[in-house]
Amino acid sequence: MYKLVKTAYFIEGSGRYRVVKNFFYDLLENNQYRYKKFFDIFMILVILSSVTILVIDVREHIPQWLDDYDLYFVTTVFVAEYFLRMWVYSDIHKIIIDEYEESLFLNKPFSYAKLTWNILRNKWRYVTSISALIDLIAILPSYRSLRILRVFVLFRAFKMLRYTRSLTGFFFVLKNKKFELITLATLFLFFIFIAGIMLYVFEGDNDNPNIHNLFDAFYWALVTISTVGYGDISPVTPEGRAVSMLIIVAGVGLLSFFTSIIVSSFAERLDVLREDRVIHETAKKKNMTVICGYGVLGKLVAKGLKKENVEFIILDINPALAEEAHNAGYRAICADATKSTIFEDLGIHKRISNVLCLTSDDIQNAFIAVNVKSLNEKVTVTARCSDDEVAKNLEFAGVDKVIMPEEVAGMMGMVYAGEPVAFDALLAIVEAKGKTLIDEVKVLSGSQLQDKTIDEIEFEQMRIILLGIFKKSDSKDRPDTFVFNPAVEYMICSEDMLVIIGYDIAIANFKKRYQ
Amino acid sequence: MYGKKNIVLFGYGTTGKQLYKKLTEAGNRVRVVVESDDEMIEGEDIDILKINIKHNEDIFSLAIDPRCDLLYCGMGRTAKNLFLVLRLRALYPEATILSISNSPESTRKLKYAGANSVIDLYEATARRTVSSLTKPAVTKALDEIVYRRNDLRMMEMAIEKYSVYDGKKLSEIPFRKFGIILIAIIDKELGDKLIFSYSTIDHMLDEDDVLVIVGKEKDLAKLQVKMLKKN
């Protein structure tokens, strides 16, 4: 086998190589990576220092060590960054392996020429990308012999945009409005062209001492149409003034058109930027809950979760509802929850523990539930539905909890038919409208509750009713057993869940003492 | 007591169907009434009466006994439920009327119209969703008791005149011995309010006071037998 191919396979198999490469990738390109922030700040400082040195250098003499710093250190950092980015852009060894395997498969000789061509083409794609070009130009001022290259130091300032997340988004604005901007630019050029030539024809022949050539006329046209109007060149003949009047009016129109395009596209972009921030904010959170659908039920659930201090994020496909959720002070994103993208952005594998599908459409809920489960089976999915048959399907699809508003109402109706007073008592406790609450206390290992009998804990003195205890089952398949009103000699073990009823202050007191 | 109630259920939509299912499962006798312009529900093996709720004669023809019949309004639309509650309340001032609602807004209106109790579909569902997320053990415990997943249940017990507990103090009843938990009481001397913090005062039990208790069915039955004993 060729030595090169062997090396490629060795790299492919090396875990260490991958770890190192992933680290640099995260540091340079992955916005979700925790330490990228520090790298970005470092780069911004380097750029700022370099620009400052350059500006001071224009009129003052800078000390030698600063010049050396600018020449060697800054350049080294930029060059290193440039090549690192080129390195993480793609994997050369994969290209080699692909090429080798292709030649094996087709039974063709392994061609170095073709391989080199492929590698070069691949990296060339990186080199010609806009951000790489800016990086490259930003390195150029280090070449001191050519004074004109100093201007390119400004590209170092451009480079800063790369390190500030929200600013990169603004580049998309120009991209999104390409068509409108090109139309506008064409119009501008057209007016400048016409007006410039007209003025040159009317006043170029010595009528106006300030207009020496066509360039002066175009310069005047641009200054006038943009409503800047320096006044260094101004028309002197009635014909020239008539042209001025026309392009001033046209200029005001074009400028406001231009402003409105930029403003509207920024406004569109701002929503996206805001949602990026929402996603970014959640990057450090764990055990998040996702509410899909901000309808009647979604709103109530969001309110309830907020009260319980549960971290959650709302998804709704309807921009108006997402906006409403945002205005209500929740984290909200307008997104299609039936697609995997949004869940991957939110970190379905690490940060999400619960997904609630609460749209009013059963099919939609099933779709979302299946989407989530297919991405990560460990996430607990609760889906709302209004049909017994659909409920069965959902359970078959792996949904952990199916909630049916109509069934809940049916249950409550049934309880009411049985015991109206008991029903009221229950509502009062569950709704927590009064001061009486029902709550749970988990017995952690090492807690004061552990290995004590019911008798030893002064529930009564603490004004707490112990309703029962959930005993953790040994195996995962069996549900936990509920021990109602445990006997006085019941020994509390760790992992037990105590269900208690009492006044809010009594429960707080109990929790403080034992949890 | 659970079951054995006579219930008139108005409406047989998605909510109505669930109400019917749960109520009959609990052993209640349920009569279903739908509006005459509703489409006939096919494939269901139950008696459905069709009436026009705007006509008093039609409602009278149901022969509702306001003292024993519970009236459930489970129509699909809030406007209809509201109308029904108003009408039923006008015809039977002493009846117990329960209605389904779908927003706090409607709940307020239904209560004003005269419903004794209102079940807010979404409020209840939201509460359940939230509590099963934040307090899973509590939710499961309540399910066991309320929805009778096993033999546990919550019931109310009124103190009858001359019963053994009439005139006794709360602390004198050995609930623990019966394996029963007392959740709340209504002390008629203090009004109709449910009192949860009974342990702060040792209430004196008299006639018509109500105890809300939870326990195993056979334990509850034992206590009931004891209670019925006359002094």
Residue of B nearest to A402 (CA): B129
* CATH H-level superfamily of A285-408: NAD(P)-binding Rossmann-like Domain (3.40.50.720)
User: Could you tell me which residues are beta bridge partners of residue B120?
Assistant: B101
Q: What is the DSSP string of A309-329?
A: T--EEEEESSHHHHHHHHHTT
Q: Which residues of chain A neighbour B187 with C-beta distances below 8 Å?
A: none
Q: Which residues of chain B neighbour A467 with C-beta distances below 8 Å?
A: 141, 145, 181, 214
Q: Which CATH class is domain A178-271?
A: mainly alpha
A450 in contact with chain B, both atoms CB, cutoff 8 A? no
CB contact under 8 A, A414 and B180: no
**Closest Cα of chain B to A352: distance in Å?**
13
Q: In chain A, pLDDT over 70 holds for what percent of residues?
A: 93
Residue of B nearest to A287 (CA): B133
CB contact under 8 A, B156 and A356: no
**Closest Cα of chain A to B194: distance in Å?**
7
Chain A segment 275-304 residues within 8 A of B by beta carbon are 289, 296-297, 300-301, 303-304
Q: Which strands make up the sheet holding A497-503, listed edge to edge?
A: A436-442, A497-503, A464-471, A481-484
Positive or negative, the CA dihedral B104, B108, B111, B116 is positive
Q: Give start-end residues of each CATH 3.40.50.720 domain in chain A.
A: 285-408
CB contact under 8 A, B200 and A463: yes
A395 in contact with chain B, both atoms CB, cutoff 8 A? no
Residue among B124, B125, B134 minimizing CB distance to A308: B134
Q: Which residues of chain B neighbour A358 with C-beta distances below 8 Å?
A: 129
CB contact under 8 A, B137 and A426: no
Are A480 and A471 in contact by the 8 Å Cβ rule? The answer is: yes
Q: Give start-end residues of each CATH 1.10.287.70 domain in chain A.
A: 178-271
Residue among B23, B133, B147 minimizing CB distance to A289: B133
- Complete domains list, chain B, with CATH: 6-126 (3.40.50.720), 151-228 (3.30.70.1450)
Positive or negative, the CA dihedral B187, B193, B198, B200 is negative
Q: Which residues of chain B neighbour A381 with C-beta distances below 8 Å?
A: none
First-to-final CA distance of chain B:
24
Low-confidence ranges of chain A (pLDDT < 70): 1, 143-150, 162-172, 430-434, 475-478
**Closest Cα of chain A to B69: distance in Å?**
10
> Which of B96, B130, B156, B177 to mutate to test binding with chain A, by most A CBs within 10 Å of its CB?
B130
CB contact under 8 A, A465 and B14: no
Pairing, β A464-471 against β B6-10: unpaired
B15 in contact with chain A, both atoms CB, cutoff 8 A? yes
Chain A segment 46-85 residues within 8 A of B by beta carbon are none
How would you write B11-44 as a 3-class SS string?
CCCHHHHHHHHHHHHCCCEEEEEEECCCCCCCCC
Q: Tens of pLDDT along chain B (231 residues)?
A: 444 678 888 888 888 888 888 888 878 888 888 876 665 555 566 777 788 877 777 778 777 887 778 888 888 888 888 988 988 888 888 888 889 888 888 888 998 988 888 888 888 888 888 888 888 888 877 777 776 666 777 778 888 777 777 778 887 888 878 888 888 888 877 777 777 765 667 778 888 888 888 888 888 888 888 877 665
CB contact under 8 A, B98 and A416: yes
A361 in contact with chain B, both atoms CB, cutoff 8 A? no
Q: Compute CA distances B70 → B8, B57, B124, whole Å.
A: 6, 19, 21
Are B192 and B198 in contact by the 8 Å Cβ rule? The answer is: no
Tell me if residue A469 falls in helix, strand or coil: strand
Residue A288 burial class via C-beta count within 10 angstroms: exposed 0-12, middle 13-18, buried 19 and up:
buried
User: Which residues have CB under 8 Å from B108's CB, separation 6+?
Assistant: none
* Structure ipTM: 0.80
B132 in contact with chain A, both atoms CB, cutoff 8 A? yes
**Closest Cα of chain B to A432: distance in Å?**
11
Strands (E), A102-175: none
Chain B segment 136-155 residues within 8 A of A by beta carbon are 136-138, 140-142, 144-147, 150, 152, 154-155
Q: Which residues of chain B neighbour A468 with C-beta distances below 8 Å?
A: 141, 144
pLDDT of residue A177: 81
Q: Which residues of chain A neighbour B130 with C-beta distances below 8 Å?
A: 301, 304-305, 308, 310
Residue among A411, A419, A501 minimizing CB distance to B155: A419
Q: Which residues of chain A neighbour B215 with C-beta distances below 8 Å?
A: 484-485
pLDDT of residue A91: 83
How would you write chain B as a 3-class SS string?
CCCCCEEEEECCCHHHHHHHHHHHHCCCEEEEEEECCCCCCCCCCCCEEEECCCCHHHHHCCCCCCCCEEEEECCCCHHHHHHHHHHHHHHCCCCEEEEEECCHHHHHHHHHHCCCEEEEHHHHHHHHHHHHHHCHHHHHHHHHHHCCCCCEEEEEEECCCCECCCCCEHHHCCHHHHCEEEEEEECHHHCCCEECCHHHCCCECCCCCEEEEEEEHHHHHHHHHHHHCEC
Residue among B23, B133, B146 minimizing CB distance to A426: B146
Considering the four listed CATH numbers 3.30.70.1450, 3.30.360.10, 3.40.50.720, 3.40.50.2300, the one that applies to the domain covering A433-514 is 3.30.70.1450
